[in-house]
Amino acid sequence: APPTTNAAGVDITQPTDQGPTSSTVPPASEFEAPGPLMGVAVKRGRLAGVQEIENRAGVGVSLVRFFARWDTDLANTDLPELLAGGRRINLSVRPNLDNGEVIPWSDIAEAEVGSELYQQMEGWADAAAALGPGSYFTFNHEPDTRDSAPNGDAEAFVAAWRRMAELVRDRAGTDVRLVWTVTRGLLSSPERASWYPGDDVVDVIGADTYNWFKCQGTDREWESLEDMLGPSLEFAQGRNKPLAIPEFASAIDSADSGRRAQWIDDATATLLSEPALSQIEFVAWFNVTAPGGTWPDCVWEVDADPASEAAFANMVRRLVGAD
């Protein structure tokens, strides 16, 4: 059966229990965002993690980046409650199963109408449509990374993206925007053209952007968000598309306890200044450390140090428009 709620008759736009669906703070919808929509990604997409951030900031976030695998049952996640709190969703679906099995992009591109795989594809398109107007859908974020290499090459990815985009557009029209999301490194490379599915099937160009510094055991320089945005903004502008930063964060400098807080303050100023102010549609802070334990020294959670926590609360309030 398709890994969606539609086939089971469950409406993912409604909460699944009687618990609280929003923080005890004003939702972002009560304010007018002066620039990019402010979003977050939290561990396992849990409502409690989002609410913790919102309560510290004193205001709701505008968007939640929600990750799912191909066999995720959305009815058994916190997605209904996140939606009920008035937040927009960027639903990001990877064609891998929970047991580690990979669905090749070529299989998706060539799936026969009526086949089990095609029904699953239709199910995800229906799930995207059920998110409602103002939502976002991403098929296989960061296809250019080694994590996605088992799914296929650039040509297969483009074909699979176009097939999924066709289904989402058929069911959601223009209500749900398609966000092609790659690493910011790809957008600095000539290889970006081979991974791009085409202007007709992309609404927003997404660039996951991190200040890794030395947390991967490298000698990378400390990089500001402003310094990293140039190639991504240039590529999006060249395609006449808005840019999104669906994941962003900064590592901690163990030799300078206040450096990350300053990075966040500087990033806030960058996002509220041109060219980012008018070109970036949304951003989402990745508040999850070391997925899978790969890079345990890459601490992204903002509550890891008080100064960063305070700077981040200020970022949320300013981008939402509460200050």
pLDDT for position 4: 41
pLDDT for position 286: 95
The C-alpha atoms of residue 301 and residue 309 are separated, in whole angstroms, by 9
The C-alpha atoms of residue 45 and residue 43 are separated, in whole angstroms, by 5
pLDDT for position 49: 95
| Spatial CB neighbours of 156, under 8 Å, sequence gap ≥ 6 | 104, 105, 106, 109
Coil, strand or helix at 298: coil
Q: Give the model confidence (pLDDT) of 52-87 as tens digits.
A: 999 999 999 999 999 999 999 999 999 999 998 889
pLDDT for position 6: 33
pLDDT for position 9: 33
Q: Give the model confidence (pLDDT) of 32-53 as tens digits.
A: 999 999 999 999 999 999 999 9
Q: How confident is the model at residue 291 (pLDDT cuts 50, 70, 90)?
A: low
pLDDT for position 1: 31
* 284/14: higher pLDDT: 284
Other Cβ atoms less than 10 A from the Cβ of 228: the count is 20
